[in-house]
């Protein structure tokens, strides 16, 4: 995947996210950042097997594209199998999010042994799936705070843009080790 393919993919995903949706029952509201929607916004991302672009360049291209588009059209993730997994982060708090907000910036995970970009993708999809429901089924509000994920696998080395605070209190960068007493990756694998 090169720069032109990346931008074309972002445009195609934005076109999908613009699809017409309707208010479910007149009372349903989803708030993302400072915007409220009467429906669950469409989630989606980009997957590529390989790219010659460094993750920092991919993040830069995504950020440039995002400046010209509303945040509800941004990809929820970009996973490049030979490079890593990209998502969004709040630049003031350092919180990583599966649904981008208006002022978020791209961040990424570089693979480190024994992990790969698919772990980041699975974790992101697990977070996004909490919104999904089949049409005609009753809506069940998401619990607050959200329960921890059960992925429990190492994602990779988090790379945050300059000036974004680091929210990790440990060096193992697991998906959910912080919910289980800040154990090391080896300790978590044995648990």
- pLDDT tens, residue by residue, 32-67: 777 787 777 788 899 999 999 999 999 999 999 999
Q: What is the largest CA-CA distance in the chain?
A: 49
In the structure, what pLDDT confidence band is assigned to residue 9 with cuts at 50, 70 and 90? very high
127-143: burial string, b at 16+ Cβ within 10 Å, e else: bbeeeeeeeeeeeeeee
How far apart CA 12 and CA 26 sit, in angstroms, is 30
- Would you state the pLDDT for residue 120? 76
In the structure, what pLDDT confidence band is assigned to residue 80 with cuts at 50, 70 and 90? very high
Residues 84-93: what's their mean pLDDT? 89
- Would you state the pLDDT for residue 122? 75
In the structure, what pLDDT confidence band is assigned to residue 8 with cuts at 50, 70 and 90? very high
Considering only CA atoms, which of 131, 121, 130, 126 is closest in space to residue 87?
121
Whole-prediction pTM value? Answer: 0.73
Q: How do residues 134-184 score in pLDDT, each as one tens digit?
A: 556 665 655 555 444 444 455 667 788 888 877 654 444 444 454 434 455
Full DSSP string of 38-62: SSPPPP-EEEES--SS-HHHHHHHH
Q: Give the DSSP H/E element, type plus range, for residue 117.
A: helix 117-128
How far apart CA 159 and CA 116 sit, in angstroms, is 15
Residue 75 has pLDDT above 90, yes or no: yes
Angle, helices 55-67/3-17, rounded to nearest 10 degrees: 40
């Amino acid at each position: 995947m090169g720069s032109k393919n990346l931008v074309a993919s972002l445009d195609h995903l934005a076109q999908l996210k613009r699809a017409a949706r309707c208010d479910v029952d007149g009372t349903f509201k989803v708030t993302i950042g400072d915007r409220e929607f009467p429906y669950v916004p469409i989630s989606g991302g980009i997957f590529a097997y390989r790219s010659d672009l460094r993750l920092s360049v991919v993040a830069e291209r995504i950020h440039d594209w995002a400046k010209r588009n509303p945040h509800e059209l941004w990809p929820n993730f970009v996973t490049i199998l030979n490079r890593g997994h990209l998502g969004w982060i709040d630049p003031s708090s350092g919180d990583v999010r599966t649904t981008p907000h208006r002022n978020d910036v791209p961040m990424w995970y570089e693979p480190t042994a024994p992990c790969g970009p698919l772990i980041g993708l699975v974790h992101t999809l697990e977070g996004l799936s909490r919104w999904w429901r089949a049409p005609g089924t009753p809506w069940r509000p998401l619990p607050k705070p959200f329960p921890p994920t059960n992925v429990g696998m190492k994602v990779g080395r988090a790379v945050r843009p300059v000036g974004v605070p680091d929210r990790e209190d440990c060096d193992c960068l697991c998906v959910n080790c912080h919910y289980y007493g800040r154990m090391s990756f080896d300790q978590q694998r044995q648990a």
